[in-house]
Structure 1
């Protein structure tokens, strides 16, 4: 009997429970919640697309020590799709003797349609004539290819052979990988797989025709590697090439900007880019160069206005020198007297070749703060 056409979603690296400590607490809370909300979106999509299963290729949780409440919330987020969920432990949530998975079992919150694969082996989905060759990580780091047994694993005739694993395809991911867990680049061919569903790399990536990383469902790093997707995979008869569609499900998009200011129009251009951002954006911006005091003030206001619009913002202005012009000093009443000496002292700190970044940052902030205080005073009350 020939295998029928099957369709499944491939996702990975949810890392539920991520803390996002680099952001303010309210920003971090929203980013953490988005990871759960996007799982719910995947469940909704799975139901709407009427897929045969959802394969989660590792790192469902970020830590073994996430709270019981987080565990319950994760499994509660799956309810919209009543078909099979196949979950594979990765390096962040490895299937240790005592793990987040054993706690979930004790909490009795894993629904019957959710299969957590804690041991290597073959899992049969007879309803769609599919054999899943599963290689869960049973420790955080391994140096042997856990998918090695795929080559000799026997599966029923006419069943699709689909591999599910978490690790780094050797020679493909050169940098930035989460772990050293190696996977042979030829595994799909040597194991006669129709499809190899991988996790660990946080962007969706085609390794070859049958080998894919889904990437994280919700972007969590300032890296442009196509995160925020799930893969909708269709397989016809066994041996046929898979049809893979990348579907964006992520709520937020992260941007990293490294800006250099040298002329006033650079400030105007950056202000325009900031004005185009909105609630789906997470931004980390570093600004270097030099700016007149008035331009630096305008940039500071634009950044604070952007902070109120975007989901999260990190700003580094330590590389920006604030150099008051004669017009700036006249406007502030700082052409002579004590205030002029303060300004000169702060400029001297900025021009000190041995100054550390924090010193430069404090000097620029002090100039901006001084300018704000002076502008709030009546003109006739400003220092002269």
Structure 2
């Protein structure tokens, strides 16, 4: 048997980037669209690999309030694979009495090959040789292990036993991320599962031989936990260990970088780092250090060019202190009160509580002086 394990599609997710351009290009809208594109890529991969089923381990939708249009787009994105799909509610799209799932059903657009696992239990697909033990979330958070019934759940002899759940494996994820919706770390062994497909952790992670998080198929955070994959799971026979192969389907790369600037050489080195990034990169850049006015202008030209090339670049320059050189000051021909103001601001830069404000004031003063000189 061949399965595709995926989770955390978060369809309908919006991004809070302030990125509206006059030409109508919106990086945030493209990131939202990429989530639907990832589903289409999963369907194409499922068709290519001729898998028996695609298992979606929760958080198909980002919220209960996604639009009807998004629901229809979801079904459309799945159309590339005509085989069995099993969709499980997670904490973002829990199977409440009134939910995104009931809306989906009322629209009457769920294809017959798509199974919505809205109740805990065993879904048997004898034509596939598969018994699916499903533990959907019927509320956003629970402190009970909803997979506990797996241990005593019966399935027909000869069927592969595969679990599908959404939550936090106890004691396995990095410290501090444990949340409600716990799952026992040895659930696969205790429940005699051939494979346990999990969602909730957005990165690719193996818990044990039979238990995996697939992670979200399209990255959406500045977290280095290896997102952007689905898992191809091959099961030879009941009891045999699964063969699990990650397949990348995500488009965008989310990166963070911190740079220390002490001169033009550091700016050029930063330029080399940025030039090596793929154009489909969402970058959060933090720059600190000391720079002359000329160096800051050089840096801004570099960042402007990279903003046009990269998908999205967020640059935080609040830690970069302006240190005007004598040449900078001479070029602006400041005298009298303005010269005294520059000296005062430079002195304030040496005081921790005033340094950031003084630096911003200096930058503004230099900018205004350059404009006045240009207009003269």
TM-score (norm 2): 0.93
Tell me: CA distance 1:177–1:7, structure 2 relative to 1, closer, same or farther (3 Å): same
> What's 2:64 paired with?
64
Q: Unmatched 5+ residue regions in structure 2?
A: 21-25
| C-alpha contact (below 8 Å) 1:277/1:306 kept by paired residues | no
Q: Please list the CA deviations of residues 112-166 of structure 1 after superposition, one character each: whole Å capped at 9, or x if unmatched.
A: 1111111000111222201010000011111010000000000111110000000
Q: Which moved more, 1:120-129 or 1:245-254?
A: 120-129
1:275 shift after superposition: 2.4
Q: How does 1:152-301 map to 2 (within 5 A)?
A: 152-175=152-175, 177=177, 179-301=179-301
- Measured after TM superposition, the shift of residue 264 of structure 1 is 3.2
The residue that corresponds to 2:361 in the other structure is 363
**Corresponding position: 1:20 with 2:18:** no
Q: List gaps (5 residues or longer) in structure 1.
A: 1-5
State the distance in 2 between where 1:33 and 1:341 align. 54
**Secondary structure at the residue paired with 2:35?**
helix
In structure 2, do the counterparts of structure 1 residues 65 and 316 end up closer, same or farther at CA, with 3 Å as the change threshold? same
Residues 371 and 92 (structure 1), Cα distance of their counterparts in 2 relative to 1, 3 Å cut: farther
CA separation of 1:155 and 1:259: change in aligned 2, threshold 3 A: same
Deviation at 1:297, TM superposition (A): 1.3
Runs ≥4 in structure 1, deviation > 4 angstroms? 374-377
Asked if 1 retains the 8 angstrom alpha-carbon contact of 2:342 and 2:362, the reply is no
8 A contact 1:321–1:364 mirrored in 2: no
Alpha-carbon distance between aligned partners in 2 of 1:361 and 1:284, rounded to the nearest angstrom: 22
Mapping for residues 88-127 of structure 1, pairs under 5 Å: 88-127=88-127
RMSD between aligned residues: 2.0
Aligned length: 371
Does the 8 Å CA contact 1:43/1:81 hold for their aligned counterparts? yes
> What is the SS of the residue equivalent to 1:31?
helix
Distance 1:116 1:59 in 2: 13
Distance (Å, rounded) in 2 between the aligned partners of 1:23 and 1:56: 32
1:67, CA displacement in angstroms?
1.1
| 2:348/2:355 contact within 8 Å kept | no
Distance, in Å, in 1 between the alignment partners of 2:47 and 2:296 is 51
For residues 30 and 56 of structure 1, the distance between their equivalents in structure 2, rounded to whole angstroms, comes to: 23
